[in-house]
């Protein structure tokens, strides 16, 4: 139990295009999900907190117009990287809290490469 | 100043050679300290949550302990399949606070 599914696992896109990443809680409902970014040999950095039915909360320095978050249901949050540029290339990971002692459960991550 | 510092950055062990990873933290109040394992190109896999000083948890060859300033992840008789990056994260006490602050991790390599 307590699985968070993230798709796609890898995506390559051209500079200037948009990319959508999906995060689903498979066997529990998640009113809150979290989006992280991880650069090589660096910590996971929280980008935003996604709340079902309301606006996401973005961390300082994260452009909300560039990283669009939609949490339209209790099992799905999406992150859209708009007008992507090479500096947006990174590993993006979502997380949710299933409860029941599972801690924060993470998706398998999405490797975004912007060329 | 980093709130979560992990050491060493990298550790190479021979199979069967026990050791410990360190996670020191500086927060005004700790709600929880988390240990995760991360394999290359994958998301973190939950290992343990510790809530108060003196608490210990075990899972197979891993044992996590917590003091007021640091946590240790002890690895007993490691196997090559234990090779991974081990991440420590803290959740600071505060109303409605869910944010986790991660350390940079310790990359463990276990040599057969």
Q: Is the pLDDT of residue B2 over 70?
A: no
pLDDT at B105: 95
Residue B24 domain flag: yes
Residue B70 domain flag: yes
pLDDT at B1: 61
Which of A32, A101, A109 is facing B42, going by the closest CB pair? A109
Where does residue A22 rank: exposed (0-12), middle (13-18), buried (19+ CB within 10 A)? middle
C-beta atoms of A109 and B98 within 8 A = no
Q: Is the pLDDT of residue B49 over 70?
A: yes
CATH number, domain of B8, equals 2.60.40.10
- Long-range pairs, B55-60, Cβ under 8 A, ≥24: none
Residue B48 domain flag: yes
List pLDDT tens digits, range B66-96. Answer: 999 999 999 999 999 999 999 999 998 875 5
3-state DSSP percent of chain A in helix, strand and coil, to 5: 5, 50, 45
Residue B73 domain flag: yes
The answer for residues whose C-beta is within 8 angstroms of residue B59's C-beta and 6 or more apart is: B47, B48
* Number of structural domains chain B divides into: 1
Q: What is the DSSP letter of B2?
A: -
List pLDDT tens digits, range A24-81. Answer: 999 889 889 999 999 988 889 999 999 888 889 999 999 999 999 999 899 999 999 9
Mean of per-residue pLDDT scores for chain B: 93
Q: Which domain holds residue B49?
A: 4-94+105-111
Q: What gap in Å lies between CA B106 and CA B87, rounded to an integer?
A: 7
Alpha carbon distances (Å) from A46 to A92, A94, B62, B76 = 10, 9, 27, 32
C-beta atoms of A32 and B49 within 8 A = no
Residue B99 domain flag: no
pLDDT at A94: 96
Residue B100 domain flag: no
Return the H-helix or E-strand segment holding A23: strand A19-25
Where does residue B97 rank: exposed (0-12), middle (13-18), buried (19+ CB within 10 A)? exposed
pLDDT-based confidence at residue A98 (cuts at 50, 70, 90): confident
C-beta atoms of A109 and B34 within 8 A = no
Asked if A99 is an interface residue toward chain B (Cβ–Cβ < 8 A), one would say no
Asked if B96 is an interface residue toward chain A (Cβ–Cβ < 8 A), one would say no
User: In this structure, how many other beta carbons lie within 10 angstroms of the beta carbon of residue B105?
Assistant: 25
């Amino acid at each position: 139990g307590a699985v968070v599914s993230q798709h796609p696992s890898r995506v390559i896109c051209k500079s200037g295009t948009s990319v959508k990443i999906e995060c689903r809680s498979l066997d529990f409902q998640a009113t809150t999900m979290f989006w992280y970014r991880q650069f090589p040999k660096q910590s996971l950095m929280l980008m935003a907190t996604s709340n079902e039915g309301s606006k996401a909360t973005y961390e300082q320095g994260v452009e909300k117009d560039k990283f669009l978050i939609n949490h339209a249901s209790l099992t799905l949050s999406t992150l859209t990287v708009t007008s992507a540029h090479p500096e947006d290339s990174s590993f993006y990971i979502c997380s949710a809290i299933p409860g029941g002692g599972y801690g924060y459960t993470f998706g398998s991550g999405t490797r975004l490469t912007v060329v | 100043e980093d709130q979560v510092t992990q050491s060493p950055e990298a550790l190479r062990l021979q199979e069967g050679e026990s050791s410990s990873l360190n996670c020191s933290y500086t927060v005004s109040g700790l709600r929880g300290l988390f240990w995760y394992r991360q394999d290359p190109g994958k998301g973190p896999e939950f290992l343990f949550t510790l809530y108060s000083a003196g608490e210990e948890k075990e899972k197979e060859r891993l044992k996590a302990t917590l003091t007021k300033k640091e946590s240790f992840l002890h690895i007993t008789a490691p196997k090559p399949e234990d090779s991974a990056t081990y991440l420590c994260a803290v959740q600071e006490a505060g109303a409605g606070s869910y944010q986790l602050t991660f350390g940079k991790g310790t990359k463990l390599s276990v040599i057969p």
